[in-house]
A and B are shown apart, each in its own frame.
Chain A
Amino acid sequence: MKEPKQLSVSAIESGTVIDHIPASSLFKVIQILGLDKIDNQMTFGTNLESKKLGRKAIIKLAGIFFEDDDINRIALVAPEAKLNIIKGYEVVEKSIVKVPDQIIGIAKCVNPKCITNFESVTTKFKVVSKKNVALKCHYCEKITDQEHMVIL
């Protein structure tokens, strides 16, 4: 017998749903998007079952729509995240986050001798590989790869 499908989180009238966030990255996504600083209604779900990710998280944001540049900032921690733009309870647009060409802030340079780890400077990286994300530091020119990436 088939089990009835049920949404764990209630639907929104208008806004953005960010799905397929790795459960372990939910709070980083909240931080990167600054969701803790806005007043809109939002729902977070985490440790939801996912065939693809094992455990995933989902964020539903009422009345919030992102510019590509803003939402793509989460690609470092949620590279497979999917966006659903909702209007009138309907999904009107679907998209996948893309790793941007440049990352400002967000990540820490892996090089302990880098100036960004000594002075209060915003980190800045050129994305040199998007598949297995690799960042080249604008300052020390060293590469930070996904395995060693630390989110600020």
Chain B
Amino acid sequence: MKNKSLVSIDDLSTDEMVSILDLAEKFEKEPIQPILEGKVIATLFFEPSTRTRLSFESAISRLGGKIVGFTDASSSSVTKGETLNDTIRTVNSYCDLIVMRHPIEGSARLASEIADVPIVNAGDGANQHPTQTLLDLYSIRKTQGSLDNLNIFLVGDLKYGRTVHSLLMAMSRWNTIFNFISPEELRMPLEYKLYLDKLGLKYYEHSDFTDIINEADIIYMTRVQKERFSDPMEYEKVKNVYVLRNNMLRNTKEKMRVLHPLPRVNEIHIDVDMNTKSYYFQQALNGVYTRQAILTRLLNLK
């Protein structure tokens, strides 16, 4: 490899993950540092993702770096038919690191093989979004004090949810119990269950979580999208089962926290926002610290 890029969460060893989380902790204490002064970071968003882009740009700005790039492909030469290869080769010479978001799966891996500068994958289609996973880990560790021996509830669309798959892969490096709560049609794919079997980690599948919610250390909510259902009747039947409401949290563990990758639609009722156990907005802020740590680490600046 010509350089160290972050394309997939599996690229990182457990030690490297922990070390990024430790560094992120330092940025949380002192978020404004001139570490990226004189550096140019390209943010190439071949598809719009305002939340992710702002989080990266905030991280770069707080470290004193400059940003070049585009916010969606229609404002770049991609619409003129330029290949990814050519775009990356060109931008490569303008900057010190490339953050890219692209709708095609595997595009970030390809870019990392073309570029001389590090690539940070900010989402390649349904494939990987490793900085999201790291900020999830950061949020879990921060709220629970450790990543070991936790009972993680993954709720909602477990079939197509890239976020939950990556989180599962990452958390499976620690001694984790998983509870999968989803409608029948959106269950966790077999390959992930086989993977946990191989590691000897316990998991349970449920179609409803009201009876077991008090066992959770983390409830990770995701959106159940109507488009995912082949039968609209099925969606109507299940759409309210996967909505978290404040009264459901009454007897949950003191330290339990509710996470969500955002944007939320209706799967977490707004009455949960006032509860101290809701953590998703803090989670989004943690994304800035985590991304500061990732950028700094990939550029070997700390």
Q: Which residues of chain B are within 8 angstroms of A115 by Cβ–Cβ distance? A: 84, 104-107, 109-110, 124
Of the listed stretches A1-9, A54-62, A73-81, A137-145, name the one at the interface; the rest are far from the partner chain.
A137-145
Task: Select one of B8, B83, B126, B128 contacting A113, CB under 8 A.
Answer: B126
Q: Which residues of chain A are within 8 angstroms of B191 by Cβ–Cβ distance? A: 143
Q: Which residues of chain B are within 8 angstroms of A139 by Cβ–Cβ distance? A: 105-107, 109-110
Residues 78-120 of B at the A interface (beta carbon under 8 Å): 83-85, 103-107, 109-110
Decide if B31 is an interface residue (CB 8 Å cutoff): no
Instruction: Give complex CA distance A31, B148 in Å.
Output: 52
Instruction: Give complex CA distance A116, B128 in Å.
Output: 16
Please give me the residue from chain B that is nearest to A143 by CB atom.
B191
A113–B105 contact, CB under 8 A? yes
Please give me the residue from chain A that is nearest to B125 by CB atom.
A113
Task: Determine chain A's interface SS by DSSP, over half rule.
Answer: loop
Decide if B127 is an interface residue (CB 8 Å cutoff): yes
Q: Which residues of chain A are within 8 angstroms of B126 by Cβ–Cβ distance? A: 113
Report the contact-size class of chain A (Cβ under 8 Å from the partner): 10 to 19
Instruction: Give complex CA distance A141, B8 in Å.
Output: 9
Instruction: Give complex CA distance A137, B128 in Å.
Output: 13
State how many angstroms separate the Cβ of B197 from the closest Cβ of chain A. 15
B128–A118 contact, CB under 8 A? no
The A/B interface has a contact count, at CB < 8 Å, of 48
Instruction: Give complex CA distance A20, B185 in Å.
Output: 43
A140–B127 contact, CB under 8 A? yes
Please give me the residue from chain B that is nearest to A117 by CB atom.
B104
Instruction: Give complex CA distance A121, B103 in Å.
Output: 17
B83–A142 contact, CB under 8 A? no
Instruction: Give complex CA distance A120, B114 in Å.
Output: 13
Instruction: Give complex CA distance A106, B38 in Å.
Output: 45
State how many angstroms separate the Cβ of A114 from the closest Cβ of chain B. 5
Decide if A111 is an interface residue (CB 8 Å cutoff): yes
Instruction: Give complex CA distance A142, B105 in Å.
Output: 9
* Centre residue among B83, B124, B127 by max chain A CB count within 10 A: B127
State how many angstroms separate the Cβ of B161 from the closest Cβ of chain A. 15
Residues 87-146 of A at the B interface (beta carbon under 8 Å): 109, 111, 113-116, 118-121, 137-143
List 12 contacting pairs A-B, 8 Å CB cutoff, sorted by A.
Answer: A114-B106, A115-B105, A115-B107, A118-B104, A119-B85, A119-B110, A139-B105, A139-B109, A140-B124, A141-B8, A141-B105, A142-B105
The 8 A-B residue pairs with the shortest CB-CB distance in the complex, in nearest-first order: A139-B106, A140-B105, A140-B106, A115-B106, A115-B107, A139-B109, A115-B104, A113-B105
Besides the known contacts A113-B103, A140-B105, A143-B191, 6 further A-B residue pairs in the complex with CB atoms under 8 A apart: A113-B104, A113-B126, A115-B109, A119-B84, A119-B85, A138-B106
